[in-house]
Structure 1
């Protein structure tokens, strides 16, 4: 599906099943927002990320009851993307000094324990986890990856693109099938024991539960 189709299905499902969350989707990013983001990153942005931002500038993520994106994540607006990125850059430089770091020269999707300048957060979790798009060069440019600073750093890519992420979420919500199946079945290395996730409304919260195999 296209970004627009997937997003329409996601927001349509929210309007019916989780109307409070539907009201917490932000209006589209403005052209000024997008120019500022492009200038701050100073590298190409994935076209599908731009398309998503032109539909919604993230969400009022701290107010959402539950998580729109599996497993624990909600989309963040442009200015929070940049503030989170800057904070992680400063932490990285405080630990390792100024870059470039070895991971900068690797292709997109290559695992790393370092936060790199070519990573752009697009969603966050209440437990300090992040989802970012990898802006390094290579066949997996624009892939979507989970990050935990207190863990092992970056996961293998969960989705190959923002388009794939939204398609996966839209189908999981509307068709009742598990999300993250490609990652969980080992098609993306390494599987890391992450099981497919089913979306459910639980006590007014949108949660992603492990699917029974």
Structure 2
């Protein structure tokens, strides 16, 4: 399913079921923002991420009532992506020095315990978790991972691409098809892996474990 179709399904559902979140979706990113982001990270952005940003430049994520992306995440604007990436790069360099991390030479889709220059945050959780796209070379370039500074990455990408992420979210919202099912079936850790369905709970959009 195309990014535009998935995003349209998401926003139509939000308009009908959770307008508080729909109202906090940002207008599209400008062409200047996208060119600046690509130049600053010195890597081309995945086409599906560009398409999403051309539809909506993230959300007012600190104000969203709940989480648009499972399990706890809200999309961030293009310039916030860059700011978060630069902050994490600086933290890594302060700890480990300015040399290249070993994981930079690995193909996209390979787990890394280090935050790499080729990772770009696209969503944040209130508890400091991140979703990021893996911009290393390889056939899985553009896959989406979860990251926590204290725990490192998941054992496998959560989604194969931004487009797959949006299709998964749209399917959960509109069709009641559990999200993260592919990851839950294939990941190595954590030991308990589940898929998720959304509910509007006390006027918050939340994600709960789906029945087995």
* Length-normalised TM-score, structure 1: 0.97
Give 1:171's aligned residue. 171
Helix, strand or coil at the partner of 2:211: coil
Inter-partner Cα distance in structure 1 for 2:54 and 2:210: 33
Inter-partner Cα distance in structure 1 for 2:196 and 2:189: 14
Give 1:55's aligned residue. 55
**Where do 4+ consecutive residues of structure 1 move more than 6 Å?**
none
User: Which of 184, 188, 191 in structure 2 is aligned with 1:190?
Assistant: 188
Helix, strand or coil at the partner of 2:62: helix
Correspondences of 1:2-41 after superposition (within 5 Å): 2-41=2-41
Helix, strand or coil at the partner of 1:14: helix
Query: Unaligned 5+ residue runs, structure 2?
Result: none
8 Å Cα contact 1:146-1:155 kept in structure 2: no
Give 1:75's aligned residue. 75
8 Å Cα contact 2:28-2:55 kept in structure 1: yes
Helix, strand or coil at the partner of 2:14: helix
8 Å Cα contact 2:89-2:115 kept in structure 1: yes
Confirm or deny that 1:210 pairs with 2:209: yes
Shift of the 177–191 alpha-carbon distance from structure 1 to 2, 3 Å rule, reads: farther
Query: Unaligned 5+ residue runs, structure 1?
Result: none
Inter-partner Cα distance in structure 1 for 2:25 and 2:65: 13
Give 2:124's aligned residue. 124
Inter-partner Cα distance in structure 2 for 1:191 and 1:12: 34
Correspondences of 1:143-158 after superposition (within 5 Å): 143-158=143-158
* Length-normalised TM-score, structure 2: 0.97
Root-mean-square deviation (CA), in Å? 0.9
The one-character-per-residue Cα deviations of 1:143-163 (angstroms, maximum 9, x if unpaired) are: 000000111334410000001
Inter-partner Cα distance in structure 1 for 2:196 and 2:123: 17
Q: How many residues align?
A: 211
Could you tell which deviates more after superposition, 150-159 or 37-46? 150-159
Give 1:46's aligned residue. 46
Shift of 1:99: 2.5
The one-character-per-residue Cα deviations of 1:49-98 (angstroms, maximum 9, x if unpaired) are: 00000000000000101000000000000111011101100110011101
Inter-partner Cα distance in structure 2 for 1:194 and 1:89: 29
Helix, strand or coil at the partner of 2:112: coil
Helix, strand or coil at the partner of 2:92: helix
